[in-house]
Amino acid sequence: MTGSGAAAVTGVQENGTSGLTIETKGLSKRFGHQLAVDSVDLAVPHGSVFGFLGPNGSGKTTTIRMMLGLAAASAGTVSVLGLEMPGRLHDVLPRVGALVEGPAFYPFLSGAANLHRLDAASRHAAPATRKARVQNALERVGLAHAAGKRVHAYSLGMKQRLGIANALLSPRELLVLDEPTNGLDPQGTREVRSLVRSLAADGATVFVSSHLLAEVEQICTHAAIMSAGRLVAQGPLAELRQAGETRIRLITPDAGAASDVLRRLGMDPAQGTPAPEGDVVTAVAAVSPEAAGSNGTAPENVVARLVEAGVRVRGFSVERESLEDRFVALTGEGFDVAQ
pTM: 0.72
Q: What is the pLDDT of residue 339?
A: 37
Cα separations (Å) of 161 from 191, 200, 218, 321?
10, 18, 19, 33
Lowest-confidence segment of 9-13, 271-275, 298-302, 307-311 by average pLDDT: 9-13
Q: Residue 64 — very low, low, confident or very high, per pLDDT cuts 50/70/90?
A: very high
- pLDDT tens digits for range 111-155: 999 999 999 988 888 889 999 999 999 998 889 999 999 999 998
CA angle in degrees (0–180, nearest 5) for 336-337-338: 100
Q: Which domains does the chain possess?
A: 2-242 (3.40.50.300), 246-320 (3.30.70.100)
Cβ contact 222:51 at 8 Å: yes
How far is 156 from 169, CA to CA, in rounded Å? 20
Q: Please provide residue 88's backbone torsions phi and psi, each rounded to the nearest 5 degrees.
A: -105, 30
Q: Which residue has the higher pLDDT, 281 or 319?
A: 281
How far is 114 from 43, CA to CA, in rounded Å? 34
Taking the mean position of all CA atoms in its chain, how far away is CA 195? 15
